Chains A and B, each alone.
Chain A
Amino acid sequence: MKKIIRIGAGAAWWGDRVEPAQLNAEKGQLDYLCFETMAEATVSAAQVRARRDPSFEGYDTYLDDRMKAVLPACMKQGTKIISNQGWINPDAAAQRIVHWLQHFGYKGVKVASVNGSLITDKVLSMTDKILENGLPTSSLAPNLISAEVYLGAEPIALALKEGAHIVVTGRVADPSIFMAPMMHEFGWDPLDAKRLGQGMGIGHLLECGAQVTGGYFSDPGFKDVPEPWNFGFPIAEVESDGSATLSKVAGTGGAIHLRTVKEQMLYEVHDPANYLTPDVVVDFTTAKIEQVGPDRVRVSHIGGKQRPPTLKVSIGCTEGFIGEDMFFYAGPGALRRAELAKKILTERFRIVGLEAEEIRIDFLGLNAIHGAATPSDAPEPYEIAVRVAARTKTREQAIKVGREVDGMAVSGIGHTGKRVPHADRTREVIGVWSSLVPREKVPATVRYFES
């Protein structure tokens, strides 16, 4: 058994930067490089794209960029890769990775795909109620487009045990991607809640990449970090009980200190004593964090409780359309012109019979982001964008938003700044609902490919 394993982050979401992943691969002296490339809605979006575009492969659209950037260094140094870039087609992703391995001249490398998270065909027979509203999941049947279970770390650890050098999965709980190598290397039992809790807590600190090294953190004058254009992605130096020291490649910007770690510890957490994952229930309220050096924070004593008997499933459904656009005012009196523009649009939507579930006309620069929570004494801005959005049942209705914004060009008021429409101003809404499935009903399957 290794004494310390080094696990580095390679991505925190689909759109994340690639350069820090390459740097971690080249200079992080990593045992494992882990990629998290999904968000709650990624698979639904992938399903929508697959329906529209038959040539879509079903995996991370940046798979090529990421693998080209990290494969040479990872193969040279023996760093294993774990990634959820398989989205709705882990087999195709694995085969594509094999292609790149061959391209770089690496033969006989074992690549595993983890399948089983996608249960669109079976979800209605496996689930009972929608968590958000208590209605039966069968009510979603007419609009159902995808259902995927959040799998845990076990199938990844199994693939590693079977000798896989690269493991690519579909939907897996984000921190499980980072915890799986700990399970494998240290031989943790899947029911060892104490160690899994600690390891999963570290996984949670890594899963959002730069968010623990100074990204989504700095605020000038209050929370400054060096060179925020040059963040390194985190590396955890993990001990056999799951305790870990967080660090990053020397010479990168950003910072790792108690504040960056605390902020990430509670990110997207509800009850901090009961953070639910497929592998274990994590308790952050016992965690101990210590600054043990510059940009080095040791995290220990995270608690763990027995994993739940069920797994969470995210169910994506078509729910209509959103139409949106914006136009602009500036100079003295920008706000009074924006207010008249809002009145004109409200009347025009009535005239053209816009049928909408919700309409929102905001003044970007004043109240578009915080909405009703904007202080009543907020100062009048010099420039305002009037941003208009409506959610509708049909695309025909959603189109009316952009058409009426077009009308503001010459049939509006003085000093209206406006763009020529150059992009689709409507989009499909994929609503995401949750339910629970008994874990024994969704077995993962692992397939192996070789370069």
Chain B
Amino acid sequence: MKVQLQHVAHTRSGDKSDTSNIAVFAFEPEFYPLLKQQLTAEKFKAFYAGAIRGDVIRYEVDNIEAMNFVCHGALGGGVSRSLCLDNYGKALSAAVLGFEIDVPDALLPKLHGQALMKKA
């Protein structure tokens, strides 16, 4: 079943100059391989089309079941130059919570936030 990423992972963004790093953390170890397989750097960048102007580099951090997406050209030219109200991109990590992930039926009981589940 396809579900929003927010049911399988949590995210946090950080800023440095014009680069935002958006880290994605599997809620459960079983979700990590799904994320690795389905949330590629290409798909990530396409999901943020127009908001991330430069390259996206994906680092896999297996020991904490996380991936770090380093997104160049994501902060409007840099925190101090940006015309965006959220010039640090603190809320940028929330967009990808809406990315659709295909989860095998056997793992559905492990999804987080089931009370707030919307069929994606």
Contacts and interface: CB of A to CB of B under 8 A. Distances in A.
A371 B95 CA distance: 10
A289 to B, nearest CB: 7
Interface in B19-62: 19, 21, 23, 25, 27, 47-52, 59, 61-62
B83 A286 contact: no
B106 interface: no
Given A270-B21, A271-B59, A373 B113 contact: no
Contacts of B94: 370
A91 B59 CA distance: 42
Interface string B66-105: 1010100000011111011110001110110010000000
A387 to B, nearest CB: 6
A273 B66 CA distance: 13
B12 A267 contact: yes
B18 A221 contact: no
A272 B92 CA distance: 20
Interface of B is mostly: mixed
A358 B83 CA distance: 8
Interface in A252-304: 259, 262-273, 284-289
Interface stretch (A189-197, A230-238, A340-348, A360-368): A360-368
Nearest to A265: B64
Contacts of A288: 63
Contacts of A359: 83
A222 B10 contact: yes
Contact of B18 (A132, A217, A391): A132
A266 B21 contact: yes
A71 interface: no
B110 to A, nearest CB: 13
A132 B19 CA distance: 10
A70 interface: no
Given A370-B95, A372-B51, A390 B80 contact: no
Contact of B16 (A264, A270, A284): A270
Given A223-B10, A272-B59, A263 B23 contact: yes
A334 interface: no
A263 B25 contact: yes
Interface residues of B, number: 48
Interface residues of A, number: 53
Given A266-B68, A370-B92, A431 B81 contact: yes
Q: Which of B15, B85, B98, B113 has the most CB of A within 10 A?
A: B85
A375 interface: yes
B80 A431 contact: yes
Interface string B4-19: 0011001010111111
A391 B79 CA distance: 13
Contact of A41 (B52, B77, B80, B116): B80
Contacts of B48: 372-373
A41 B80 CA distance: 7
A262 B66 contact: yes
A221 B51 contact: no
Given A223-B10, A373-B51, A432-B80, A270 B85 contact: no
A126 interface: no
Contacts of B81: 319, 391, 429, 431
A281 to B, nearest CB: 15
A287 B80 contact: no
A222 B113 contact: yes
A164 interface: no
Interface string A401-431: 0000000000000000000000000000111
A120 interface: no
A222 B95 contact: no
A364 B10 contact: no
Contacts of B23: 263, 266-267, 269
B17 A434 contact: yes
A45 to B, nearest CB: 9
A268 B80 contact: no
A266 B98 contact: no
Contact of A222 (B47, B65, B78, B112): B112
Interface string A201-237: 0000000000000001101011100000000000000
A222 B65 CA distance: 18
Contact of A287 (B51, B64, B70): B64
Contacts of A322: 83
A145 interface: no
7 contacts: A263-B25, A266-B64, A268-B15, A269-B14, A289-B64, A360-B84, A373-B50
Please list the 3 inter-chain residue pairs (A to B) with the smallest Cβ-Cβ separation, ordered nearest first. Answer: A372-B50, A268-B14, A373-B51
Given A262-B65, A263-B23, A387-B85, 7 more contacts: A266-B14, A267-B12, A358-B83, A372-B48, A373-B52, A375-B98, A431-B80
